[in-house]
Amino acid sequence: MIRSTLCAIVALSAFPAAAQHAHNSSGGPVETGQSAFAAIAEIVQILSDDPDTDWSKVNIQALRDHLVDMELVTTEANVRTQSEGRIVEFNVTGEGDVADAIGRIVLAHSPMLEMASEWTVTAEPSTNGATMRIEVDTDPEFARVLGLGFFGIMTIGAHHQAHHLQMAMGTDPHH
């Protein structure tokens, strides 16, 4: 018993050291930088590793533009939340480029959110952005939507990475 416990302790304590050694011997940094740049780098690597990539259709600029929209919405949008019954309404606004980004992101994400959840999700453009309405069937789901708020809601559905790849490949993932 003592012998197997000692073996386990030695093995577990050696694992972090081995992992750190492997990381340090990689020859240099592994972080690609700012998050949008990292997302682009990841997609470029995926496309480069795929021998079937049709480079004549690749559009990294479209992906970059979308990532800029995501950044503007996340960091500069204003959100006013209202609720009635089991309906939560997010009125998302901004000025100039931010308002334009809100319109693109909210209108594109709403159908994806509806598919990824059991909620009824609608969105419409507004003067300075967009309005998203979410209707749920239960009180716990209502509490979840309110707790997550607009920005938490926007993360639901692991579709972001796939649609980033589709954009870069020159296809429109929103239609």
The three state secondary structure string of 50-79 is: CCCCCCCCCCHHHHHHHHHHHHHHHHHCEE
pLDDT tens, position by position, 121-138: 999 999 999 999 999 999
- Binned at pLDDT 50, 70 and 90, residue 171 comes out as confident
- Binned at pLDDT 50, 70 and 90, residue 105 comes out as very high
- Greater confidence (85 vs 33) lies with 85
Q: Where are the beta strands (DSSP E) in 85-163?
A: 87-93, 120-126, 129-135
Percent of the chain scored above 90 by pLDDT? Answer: 62
Of 82, 80, 87, which Cα lies nearest the Cα of 134? Answer: 87
- Cα pseudo-dihedral 73, 74, 80, 83, rounded to 10: 110
Mean pLDDT is lowest, of 10-24, 25-39, 106-120, for: 10-24
Q: Is a pLDDT exceeding 70 seen at residue 13?
A: no
- Binned at pLDDT 50, 70 and 90, residue 2 comes out as very low
Is the sign of the CA dihedral 166, 170, 173, 174 positive or negative?
Answer: positive
Of 143, 121, 144, 141, which Cα lies nearest the Cα of 131? Answer: 121
Percent of the chain scored above 70 by pLDDT? Answer: 78
CB 108 within 8 A of CB 75: no
This prediction's pTM? 0.75
What is the average pLDDT value for the chain, to the nearest integer? Answer: 83
